[in-house]
Chain A
Amino acid sequence: MSGLRARLRLEREQLRLDVDLAAPPRGLTALFGASGSGKTTTLRCIAGLTRANDGHVAFDDECWQDEGRGIFVPPHKRACGYVFQEASLFAHLSVRRNLEYARSRAPASLHAPGFEHTVEMLGLGALLARRTPSLSGGERQRVAIARALLANPRLLLMDEPLASLDAGRKGEILYYIERLRDEIGIPIVYVSHAIDEVVRLADTMVLLSEGRTVAAGPVAELASRLDLRPYLGRFEAGAVIEAAVAAHDLDYGLTRLVFEGGELYAPDVEALVGARLRLRIRSRDVSLALSRPADASFLNVLEGVVVELGQPQGAGVDVAVALGHNRIVARITRKSVDKLGLAPGKRVYALVKSVAIDRHSVGYA
């Protein structure tokens, strides 16, 4: 057994937490849920900043908390870095001194991240001499991430590091988070309530609702489960498919993406041929037809089999369609379901607007 295991019980006035979670020793695990679902409290309990009434937290071969045996390791003795929602830089120190604060207290090890390398990875070279109040929101968050890394943690905890940033800054920080996910060899637990961030960044996902673990597993698997729709947000919910770039059609400005079960065109994806991407296809951008439409503008027509109908919600219902091993979910009206006679086993064509492939959610898998 390695990686992070946590079982936490906590009673608060506004929150009852009863969470079980595991994060593998590599990659990024997203803690996903609506606000008030207990994500931040869970993260704080892992770091030891909040003490669960009854808890068991272990990382690799270390026990950080075991109330049964009276063990509670204080936060400064846990080898985990923490990036707070607001960057929380030390206002009395320059950028360089903020970073050195962490480095000088880091446990010595061969794997300790180099100062220069970390500064370069987060693009902080030009900021070192600056005073922290003069930094922009995105710059602060980058310094906070570098500072957490320089403490040489074995586990990195991030609490919605993009939440207080505007859209432009979000994209900038997402790029850096992807980079460190791929470059540093430690697991990351990432709290978010934005499904696009989760799809782009996470390998594994733990879904929390009202202080409880609802589901946990690979992102693509959870994203296409109809029973989890209410937790994933109806408007943004969609299936996740991993695809490879097959070719660029320069004349039309389109990229052909292939995956097991079909192929899709997306406008000008910035990736080399052969690169593997993760696509999110929102349910509201998928329609279904019984025959291949010959005279419609849809470029992406995928042939599949209906596998599951979700619980109707008002006029609408989610329909899961299998494309090989992949799944796509369409949000259509109940009336259409009856008109087309849709039921599990029925062959259908899923019509996807090519623009519906959200470029921001394209990640390297």
Chain B
Amino acid sequence: MSDWLAVWLTLRLAATTTVLLLLLGTPLAWWLARTRSPLKGPLGALVALPLVLPPTVLGFYLLVALGPGGPIGELTRSLGLGVLPFTFAGLVVGSVIYSLPFVVQPLQAAFEALGERPLEVAATLGAGALDRFFSVAVPLARPGFVAATILGFAHTVGEFGVVLMIGGNIPGATRVLSVALYDHVEALEYAPAHWLAAGMLAFSFLVLLAVYGRLPMRRAS
């Protein structure tokens, strides 16, 4: 029963995170794809950091920053929001940072692949900047959006280290799938552990199949 709660929580976390990431990541990816600013390099590296950083390092810093003594913790407390660690909101913040490169990078690649030409054409046909973005850039970058959504969602589902550091193990609030699995193994409950592990394995394979299965078809068309 509690495992189903963990599955539901995980899906809710992944969905919330993915929506937020698409909203934040799209303008960021657009900027990274088109800027000639010297900040492009450092910012691109910063976005990619979660790819190489152990999640526990990320989680540790988040715990410090979001906690009662941390700068963000002070801010959230003064705003009357309390502190975020060991809450669902805290998990969302951690997940957004943790999965950021998985959303920004496919989008950035898709925007870069567009080139200037379709946007120039749209401009000569009377489309302003915002119009060009929504009527040309977004539809042409659709494969990038699909990949970003799938990867962002799946990567958040598979999150463990960050959750362990800032989420803990509160059923219904922070006890996500990977943590539940860890608990079962700790308690030597291998049967439910198998169910969860096999479920995750199947899910991950299907996600990757969806991503990789699409790509060759796109190329061919």
A, B in one complex = yes
Enumerate chain A interface residues (CB-CB to B < 8 A): 47-49, 74-77, 80-82, 84, 86, 88, 90-92, 101-102, 105-107, 133, 147-148, 151
Complex-state Cα separation, A13 to B125, whole angstroms:
30
The answer to whether B123 and A49 have CB atoms under 8 Å apart is: yes
Tell me how far the C-beta of A294 lies from the nearest C-beta in chain B, rounded to whole angstroms: 60
Residues of chain A within 8 A (CB-CB) of B120 are 49, 75, 82, 84, 88
| Complex interface: chain B residues within 8 A of A151 (CB) | 124-126
A80 and B121 CA atoms in complex are apart in Å by 11
Nearest CB to that of B136 among chain A residues?
A90
> Which residue of B124, B135, B142, B221 has the most chain A CB atoms within 10 A of its CB atom?
B124
13 extra interface residue pairs, beta carbon distance < 8 Å, beyond A49-B123, A75-B124, A84-B117: A47-B124, A48-B123, A49-B124, A76-B122, A86-B117, A88-B118, A88-B120, A92-B139, A101-B135, A102-B126, A105-B126, A148-B125, A151-B124
Whole-angstrom distance from the CB of B36 to the nearest CB of chain A? 14
Bound together, the chains give a CA A91 to CA B218 distance in angstroms of: 12
Q: What chain A residues lie within 8 Å of B221 (beta carbons)?
A: 133
- Chain B residues with CB below 8 A from A80, complex form: 124
Report chain B residues within 8 Å CB of A84.
Answer: 117, 120-121
Q: How far is the CA of A281 from the CA of B210 in the complex (A)?
A: 63
Interface residues on B, range: 10 to 19
Which B-chain residue is minimally distant from A86 (CB atoms)?
Answer: B117
Tell me whether B93 is interfacial, beta carbon within 8 Å.
no
Q: How many A-B residue pairs have CB under 8 A?
A: 60
Which residues of B line the A interface, CB within 8 A?
117-118, 120-128, 131-132, 135-136, 139-140, 142, 221
- Cβ of A106 and Cβ of B123 under 8 Å apart? no
Given contacts A101-B135, A133-B221, contact A88 B123 (CB under 8 A): no
Asked if B125 and A101 sit within 8 Å, CB to CB, the answer is yes
Contact between chains at B139 and A148 (CB < 8 Å): no
**20 pairs, CB–CB < 8 Å, chain A vs chain B:** A48-B123, A74-B123, A75-B123, A76-B123, A76-B126, A76-B128, A82-B120, A84-B120, A84-B121, A88-B118, A90-B121, A90-B136, A101-B122, A101-B125, A101-B135, A102-B125, A102-B126, A133-B221, A148-B125, A151-B125
List the B side residues contacting A48 at CB < 8 Å: 123
Residue on A nearest B121 in the bound complex, by CB: A88
